[in-house]
Structure 1
C-alpha cells in the first residue's frame, strides 16, 4: 500500500480545502453536493488520478467514492433539532428522517460503516440501506436495530473488531474502540441490544451500543482511519499507521491523554482531520456553524495536534468539499 503523496495533498489543499491559519479557519472554496471532485494535480506513476474522493457530511459522517463504489461512514444528514446546542436537550425528541435532505446526496452506496448507534451516527442508516441496498457493518446492537427498522438480515453484518474485509480495490479493517465520556464520566444512552427491539421512536431508543473504528485502505491510494467518538483503546491501533486520521473532538476532559494516546497509537499520521466539532443540528451549509465553546475546543485540539505531532498537517474540513489524499 503506497503512502500519501504529500506534495499532491498540499497542492489539492491549497486549491480545495478549508485550511487552518494562525487566526483560525480560512475557507478557500467549497464543493456543492454531488459536484465533481476538484481536479487534482498530476499524480505519480501508478496512482489513479481522482479515483478516490472524501466528502465530510458533518458530525463523524463521510462519503467516500472509490471508482464506482461508495462507502459511507456514520451518515447523519437529517440533523434534527433535539435542543442539545440550545441547552434544552430533549431525550424524547422523535427520530424524524429527512428524506428531502438525504435523497439528493445519497444517489448510491455500496457499504455503510457504523461506529456506534447514537442517533447522530445511526438514525439515517436504515433509510439509506433501504434506498441503496448497501450492506451495513456495525456492532451487534447495530445489527439488531437494523432488524427493528426492517432492514433485511442479508444486508446487515455484525462485526466486533479485528476483522479485515476485502472489497477488491479497497479493504476495511474493523478496530475495537471506545465512546467518549461526559463531564460526569458517563456515556449518553448507554447499553446494547442483544435481541431485536421494538422499532425505535425517540433518540433515547438508540443506545451507544459499543463503539468501533474503521481503517480504510485503498489500493494504490491512502489509508484512512475513522473515529466516531473521542476515546481510544490505543492497544488496538498497533500497526495500523494510517496516512490520514479523521479524529473526533473531545467535548469533555474526562478521558485522559486522549490525543497523545491516539496519535502515538496511529504512529503520528501525516494528516489529521478534526471531526464532530460542528453544530450538527443546523443545515448542512458552509461555513459550518460552531458553538463558541466548541470553537475554543477546536482551537485547543489543533494546537495540541501540532504540539504532539508537529509533522502532521491539520486539515479542518468544510461540508461536501471533495478531498483527495
Structure 2
C-alpha cells in the first residue's frame, strides 16, 4: 500500500488495482509553504474522492481534479451542492445521508461517520485577525462560499488494515470511543485549527491507540489565515505517553509504503 501526502489534509492511497483521494487541495497561494508542485492531472488515476467537509482548503480543486475523469466524489449533501455551484458534473457525486454509510469498491471498504469541526479558540482567532489585517476582506469570500456541512470522518479497510482519517479535530469523546472498538493500524490526524492543537491531536492518539499515527494539515497552506504548526510537542508526547504508537513522518508530496 502506498500513501502520498499531497499537502494540507490531502492524501492519495494506492492499493493493488485501486487508488483513491482524500480531501485533495492543491491551489494554495503565493505565500504558502511549502510550494505545491503537483497539478490536478498528476493525481490520476483514481476511482473515488472522499471528502471530510466543505471548507475551501478541502474541496477547492475537486472539480478540476475530477471532471476530466470517471471518478466519484463521496461527500455530504452540503458539499455536493457547493461542488455543483463550482461547475462539477453532478454525475460524479455520491451523497452520504447517514452515519455509517458504506462505499465498497475493488477490495476496499470505506465507511463514513458523522463528526464535528474543531472549534477555533479565541487566541487563534485573535492572532489570525491581527496577522491578516486589511487582507481579511479579500479572504472572506473563501470562508463564506465554502460552508462546512456535515463533517465526515472516514474509515478505510484494505489489505487487512484499518485506516482512520480525520480532516478536522473536533470529534466527540463518544465518536472516538465508538471508533476505538476495533484496532487501528494507521491514524491520519490533523494538526490545525487551535492554538493548542498538539494536545487536541494527542486526545485522538490516546483514545484510538493506533499502531501508527501520521500527522497532517500542519503546513502553512494559505497565509495569512493559516500558519505553520510546530508538531514537535505532539511527537514528543506520543513517544512519552503512547510508546506503542509509532510516528510516521512525511515530507510534502512524498509517498511512503505501509
Output the TM-score relative to the length of structure 2. Answer: 0.80
Distance across 2 between alignment mates of 1:251 and 1:302:
18
The Cα shift of 1:103 comes to 3.6
Distance across 2 between alignment mates of 1:67 and 1:57:
20
Contact 1:232/1:261, CA 8 A, preserved across alignment: no
Distance across 2 between alignment mates of 1:280 and 1:250:
10
Is 1:158 aligned to residue 91 of structure 2? no
If each structure's helix is expressed as a fraction of its own residues, which one has the higher value? 2
Could you say which structure has the larger radius of gyration? 1
| Counterpart mapping for 1:29-108 below 5 A | 52-81=1-30, 101-108=38-45
Selected match of 1:272 from 198, 213, 218: 213
Contact 1:215/1:240, CA 8 A, preserved across alignment: no
1:270/1:242 CA distance change after superposition, 3 Å: same
1:57/1:208 CA distance change after superposition, 3 Å: same
Q: Which residue of 1 aligns with 2:234?
A: 301
Question: Any idea what SS the aligned residue of 1:105 has?
Answer: helix
Deviations 1:6-61 (A, max 9, x none): xxxxxxxxxxxxxxxxxxxxxxxxxxxxxxxxxxxxxxxxxxxxxx2100001110
RMSD of the alignment, in Å? 2.9
Count of paired positions: 235
Q: Which residue of 2 aligns with 1:117?
A: 54
Distance across 2 between alignment mates of 1:256 and 1:322:
24
Q: Which residue of 2 aligns with 1:129?
A: 66
Contact 2:79/2:148, CA 8 A, preserved across alignment: no
Question: Any idea what SS the aligned residue of 2:214 has?
Answer: strand
Is 1:232 aligned to residue 171 of structure 2? yes
Distance across 1 between alignment mates of 2:53 and 2:38:
22
| Counterpart mapping for 1:301-320 below 5 A | 301-320=234-253
The Cα shift of 1:256 comes to 11
Q: Which residue of 2 aligns with 1:9?
A: none
1:134/1:202 CA distance change after superposition, 3 Å: farther
The Cα shift of 1:133 comes to 2.2
Question: Any idea what SS the aligned residue of 2:233 has?
Answer: helix
Question: Any idea what SS the aligned residue of 2:249 has?
Answer: coil
Is 1:241 aligned to residue 241 of structure 2? no
Q: Structure 1 stretches of 5 or more lacking a match?
A: 1-51, 86-97, 188-200, 283-289
Question: Any idea what SS the aligned residue of 2:221 has?
Answer: coil
Distance across 2 between alignment mates of 1:265 and 1:235:
10
Distance across 2 between alignment mates of 1:70 and 1:131:
16
Q: Which residue of 2 aligns with 1:172?
A: 110
Distance across 1 between alignment mates of 2:246 and 2:198:
23
Contact 1:53/1:322, CA 8 A, preserved across alignment: yes
Contact 1:249/1:301, CA 8 A, preserved across alignment: no
Output the TM-score relative to the length of structure 1. Answer: 0.65
Distance across 1 between alignment mates of 2:173 and 2:204:
6
Contact 2:26/2:39, CA 8 A, preserved across alignment: yes
1:242/1:182 CA distance change after superposition, 3 Å: same
Question: Any idea what SS the aligned residue of 2:250 has?
Answer: coil
Q: Structure 2 stretches of 5 or more lacking a match?
A: 126-139
